[in-house]
């Protein structure tokens, strides 16, 4: 095992916090090891004035980092799991998924209002079709507008662009200590189901780098990984990217009577919220991948494939049609 390794990361405040947290955790477990961070600008970072759904493509925030990993200029990468596409480049793999932070979305307003309390016709800013479609299904009167930029920029736009509310991932706000009491409220997952892998980190490495893989495995959390694996299997079979409102969340029995029982809820929606296809399954956590695929097929049978294919083609980025 090398005495020094390099972590590749995006340069946003949140990405640097996440990579810094991983660095500290790894160094704590391996005294004498030094770890540096290398900031890599991704395509998603370069295009800030266009809604993500119109940019198209998968892996918008990870591609350049993965290229550096394959080239050997970095030893591991730290990503937000929700940015990871379903397919991994040959030679790379997910070596570790640490303990997951809160997976829910959070609504920020000037006075801490919840989604159901917003005024008629309220203007809500969000960068996510997934969030917007579910909010419109719950409140068709809302006006959803695009919101890009880092957390600080998006929070400022609540004031500068005369928005009634903005919606962000709770995990990022909590990690940076920005979930201000009186302004931030977690959204009921019955209203807005989170993105696949939301709140989880992804430690990506070269599959054949045994020393780094062993190190990364020291901060792996199996329950978090089991839930995320099921969610990602759901996404992978649906073949959806940021052009399609897709959500999934895996959880375990809170009673603790059945710790190996995984509950998975998944959703596919029309962007305008006119249709939301939602279903849930439960099964053995060890069979999470199969559980995710089964849930995806159930939604495909109800018309999810038609929604996914059409939205991707409308975005000008057609993929192979879904096989049911």
pLDDT in tens, 185-226: 999 999 999 999 999 999 999 999 999 999 999 999 999 999
CA separation for the pair 108, 84 (Å, rounded)? 26
Catalytic residues: 83
pLDDT given at position 117 = 94
Q: What is the mean pLDDT of residues 304-312?
A: 93
**Of residues 14 and 312, more confidently modeled:** 14
Q: Give the CA distances from residue 302 to residues 107, 267, 299, in Å, rounded to whole numbers and listed in that order.
A: 30, 11, 5
| pLDDT at residue 234 tops 90 | yes
* pTM listed for this prediction: 0.91
Q: What is the mean pLDDT of residues 237-263?
A: 80
| pLDDT at residue 314 tops 90 | no
Segment holding 309, helix H or strand E:
helix 304-314
pLDDT given at position 259 = 54
Please enumerate in sequence order all residues whose Cβ is within 8 A of that of 307, keeping only pairs 6 or more positions apart, or say none.
Answer: 244, 268, 269, 270, 275, 277
Quick one: which of 180, 75, 86, 161 has its CA closest to 123?
A: 161
CA separation for the pair 245, 315 (Å, rounded)? 13
Classify domain 226-314 at the CATH class level. Answer: alpha beta
* Percent of the residues in the chain that have a pLDDT greater than 70, as a whole number: 92
CA separation for the pair 23, 319 (Å, rounded)? 37
- Same CATH topology for 4-98+200-220 and 105-186: the answer is yes
Calculate the average pLDDT of the chain.
Answer: 90
Q: What is the mean pLDDT of residues 25-34?
A: 96
Please enumerate in sequence order all residues whose Cβ is within 8 A of that of 280, keeping only pairs 6 or more positions apart, or say none.
Answer: 263, 264, 265, 266, 295
Which residue is associated with the tokens 């006075």?
A: 111
Radius of gyration of the chain (CA): 19
Q: What is the mean pLDDT of residues 168-181?
A: 90
**Of residues 127 and 166, more confidently modeled:** 166
Domain map (residue ranges) of the chain: 4-98+200-220, 105-186, 226-314
Q: Phi and psi for 114 in degrees, rounded to 5?
A: -90, 170
pLDDT given at position 159 = 86
Q: With cut-offs at 50, 70 and 90, classify the pLDDT of residue 80.
A: very high
| pLDDT at residue 323 tops 50 | no
Q: With cut-offs at 50, 70 and 90, classify the pLDDT of residue 313.
A: confident
Query: Can you give the length of the chain in residues?
Result: 324
pLDDT given at position 240 = 75
Q: Considering the domain 105-186 in this protein, what is its CATH number?
A: 3.40.190.10
Q: Considering the domain 4-98+200-220 in this protein, what is its CATH number?
A: 3.40.190.10
Beta carbons of 261 and 252 less than 8 angstroms apart: yes
| pLDDT at residue 35 tops 90 | yes
């Amino acid at each position: 095992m090398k005495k020094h390794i390099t972590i590749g990361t995006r340069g946003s405040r949140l990405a640097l916090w996440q990579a810094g947290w991983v660095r500290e955790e790894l160094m704590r477990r391996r005294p004498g090891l030094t770890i540096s961070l290398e900031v890599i600008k991704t395509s998603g970072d370069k295009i800030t004035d266009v809604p993500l759904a119109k940019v198209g493509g998968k892996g918008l925030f990870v591609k350049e980092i993965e290229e550096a990993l394959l080239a050997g200029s970095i030893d591991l990468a730290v990503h937000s799991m929700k940015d990871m596409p379903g397919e991994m480049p040959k030679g790379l793999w997910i070596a570790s998924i640490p303990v997951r932070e809160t997976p829910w979305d959070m609504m920020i307003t000037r006075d801490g209002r919840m989604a159901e309390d917003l005024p008629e016709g309220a203007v809500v800013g969000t960068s996510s079709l997934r969030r917007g479609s579910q909010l419109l299904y719950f409140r068709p009167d809302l006006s959803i507008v695009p919101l890009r930029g880092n957390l600080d920029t998006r929070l400022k736009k609540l004031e500068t662009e005369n928005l009634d509310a903005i919606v962000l991932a709770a995990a990022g706000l909590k990690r940076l200590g920005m979930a201000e009491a009186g302004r931030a409220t977690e959204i009921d997952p019955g209203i807005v189901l989170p993105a696949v892998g939301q709140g989880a980190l992804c430690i990506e490495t070269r599959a054949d780098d045994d020393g780094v893989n062993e190190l990364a495995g020291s901060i792996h959390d199996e329950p978090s990984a089991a839930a995320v694996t099921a969610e990602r299997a759901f996404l992978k079979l649906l073949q959806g990217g940021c052009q399609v409102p897709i959500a999934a969340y895996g959880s375990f029995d809170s009673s603790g009577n059945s710790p190996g029982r995984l509950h998975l809820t998944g959703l596919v929606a029309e962007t305008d919220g006119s249709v939301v296809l939602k279903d849930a399954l439960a099964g053995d956590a060890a069979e999470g991948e199969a559980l995710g695929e089964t849930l995806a097929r159930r939604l495909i049978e109800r018309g999810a494939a038609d929604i996914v294919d059409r939205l991707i083609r409308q975005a000008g980025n057609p993929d192979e049609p879904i096989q049911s």
